[in-house]
Amino acid sequence: MTFRRRDVLTKKTKALPATASSVYTDSLDLRRDSSGGHGDHMADVELLVSAPALTNAQLGNAHTMKYTVQHSHNDSVWEDLYTDEITQTGAGAGAAAATKRFRLPTNVYRYVRVKATASAADDASDASMTAELYY
């Protein structure tokens, strides 16, 4: 089954790093009580992570941009849920755009976000990643 419905309130976009560092999308609230670990997340929802195409100036040869999905009980302390779901590696002309779409596990916490980490001081801040929920 493919989910096709989107809500503009569940789409987060963030500019990529301008240095060898990490940036994070704003959190997406799944609106479930996970503070005590009670109950499974049973909503029919998928997360789509989109990484933009990057030029050689934005992602140099052999440099990487890695995207990790994180989750949190309280929107302040974060844990990795899926590490390096997308890895873009610069190769002469930069890196192609990439997407990854998947269902969230039943034990996902209430909040999710995406982290992008650059391995080198290339400036990719004029490109943006996107995280959005599909229902």
The tally of domains found in the chain comes to: 1
State yes or no: pLDDT of 113 exceeds 80.
yes
Is the distance from CB of 25 to CB of 89 less than 8 angstroms? no
Contact 135, 45 (CB under 8 A): yes
Using a 10 angstrom Cβ sphere, with 0-12 exposed, 13-18 middle and 19 or more buried, the burial of residue 81 is buried
pLDDT band (50, 70, 90) for residue 9 = confident
State residue 45's pLDDT score: 85
Cα–chain-centroid distance for residue 11?
Answer: 11
Residue in the structure block whose two tokens are 């941009």: 65
CATH number at residue 48: 2.60.120.1110
Asked whether residue 100 is domain-assigned, the answer is: yes
Mean local confidence (pLDDT), 43-47: 84
Task: Tell me the pLDDT band of 10, cut-offs 50, 70 and 90.
Answer: confident
Q: Which residues pair with 95 in a beta bridge?
A: 54
User: What single DSSP character describes residue 95?
Assistant: B
Residue 15: which domain range?
A: 6-35+43-134
**Mean pLDDT across 74-82:** 96
Establish if 1 belongs to a structural domain. Answer: no
